[in-house]
Amino acid sequence: MTLDDLRVFVAVCRAGSLSAVARDLCCTQSAVSQHVRRLERETGMSLLERRPRGVVPTAAGRILCDAATDSITGLDLALRRLGDLVNGESGSVRITTGGTTVRHFMAEAIVSFRSRYPKVSLEFQTETSSRGCFDALLADNLDLAWITLGVPVRGIEQRPVVDLPWVLALRSDDPLATRPHIDAGDLAGIRLVRLPPNSTSGAQLDAAFAELGIRTGSDTSVADWDTALLLAELGLGHAVVPAVPGLPTSGDGSPLRLVPIPALPPLSVGWAVRRWDALSPLARSFADAVAASCTETRTTT
């Protein structure tokens, strides 16, 4: 049994396909199968069950996959920390997050971090959802993921950084724009520009609407908050979005108005990692810098 055997087996369990892993590794499907067969000989048990559309781990396979995932994760993190010790302050920090997150949450932190660690490489990998960030964090050699916090995920530690209140985004000439706040009843019947329901933030918003008995319509769906704000600014609909840092205010000449909706519970965003206690000093420093920047921004607005 080798480390490569375990890495390939974990990849097969995640992908549910021998051929998909072979393509990712640029090898033959037979080579992937050899890794699995070697593990099966070593354990004396069948680890994969063949299905018409791929493979799934057996009960024994799930036990081995879970144990191997934890071990490989710990080893990868240890190797990153050893690399940081060798390179001093010239290592790297790898972050996965959504496409608009850097602008809203990390801009100031990146500047301060770069000033403090000019030789450190910051690498950003864009994903379209928190689920995608979790998958990338588990599957790749990444340090941090900035996510919308939701239900617990096996193998992932989540740490909240800031709570974002919800606001109704609309044009300044809309009748609701003069309100100091929006009541739940004011949203009834409004056709909204919506986030995808399979996103963490979209699902939490839908759950809050259901709990308050709010029924809204929608004929437009967008992939991110910034696009929803743009459509609202153009007068193409209303949007319920979290009040992320850097949004326009009523006094800056923007035609867009953001009216608080206090009845909706705030959206919690923050960091996700595989293990906080194994995080490299550089990655921890960057995570702390972003958290401090978000806290300062929230207290001054």
Amino acid, single-letter form, for residue 194: R
At 87, the pLDDT band (50, 70, 90 cuts) reads: low
- 212-216, 225-229, 252-256, range with the lowest pLDDT: 252-256
Quick one: average pLDDT of 70-87?
71
d(CA 96, CA 129): 10
At 106 the pLDDT is 93
pLDDT, residue 300, reads 53
What mean pLDDT, rounded, does the chain reach?
86
Residue 115 to residues 118, 245, 278, 297, Cα–Cα distance (Å): 6, 22, 25, 19
What residues contact residue 127 under an 8 Å CB cut-off, 6+ apart?
A: 96, 97, 98, 133, 135, 136, 145
Query: pLDDT category, 160, cuts 50, 70, 90?
Result: very high
Q: Give the span between the Cα atoms of 34 and 18, in whole angstroms.
A: 11
Structure confidence at residue 188 (pLDDT): 82
> Is pLDDT of 80 > 60?
yes
* pLDDT, average across residues 5-22: 90
How many other CB atoms sit within 10 Å of the CB of residue 219? 10
Q: For residues 196 and 204, which has the higher predicted lDDT (pLDDT)?
A: 204
Which of 301, 16, 3 lies closest to 162 in space, CA to CA? 301
CA 260 to CA 247: how far, in whole Å?
Answer: 13
pLDDT at 202: 86
Who contacts 76 (Cβ-Cβ below 8 Å, separation ≥6)? Answer: 141
Bridge partner list, 124: 95
> Residue 261 — very low, low, confident or very high, per pLDDT cuts 50/70/90?
very high
Alpha-carbon separation of residue 116 from 26, 98, 259 (angstroms): 39, 25, 38
268-293 pLDDT tens trace: 999 999 888 878 888 999 999 999 99
Q: What is the CA radius of gyration of the chain?
A: 23
- Is the predicted pLDDT of residue 131 greater than 90, yes or no? no
Buried b vs exposed e over 123-152: b needs ≥16 C-beta within 10 Å?
A: eeeebebbebbbbbbbeeebbbbbbbbbee
Is the full-model pTM beyond 0.85? no
Contact by Cβ (8 Å): 286, 93: yes
Phi, psi of 94, deg, nearest 5 = -115, 125
Nearest to 40 by CA among 51, 53, 50: 50
Burial of 57 (0-12, 13-18, 19+ CB in 10 A): buried
pLDDT (tens digit per residue) in 108-120: 999 999 999 988 8
Neighbours of 120 (CB within 10 A): 20
pLDDT: which is higher, 249 or 172: 172
Asked whether the predicted pLDDT for residue 32 surpasses 80, the reply is: yes
The residue among 49 and 277 whose pLDDT is bigger is 49
Average pLDDT over residues 16-35: 90
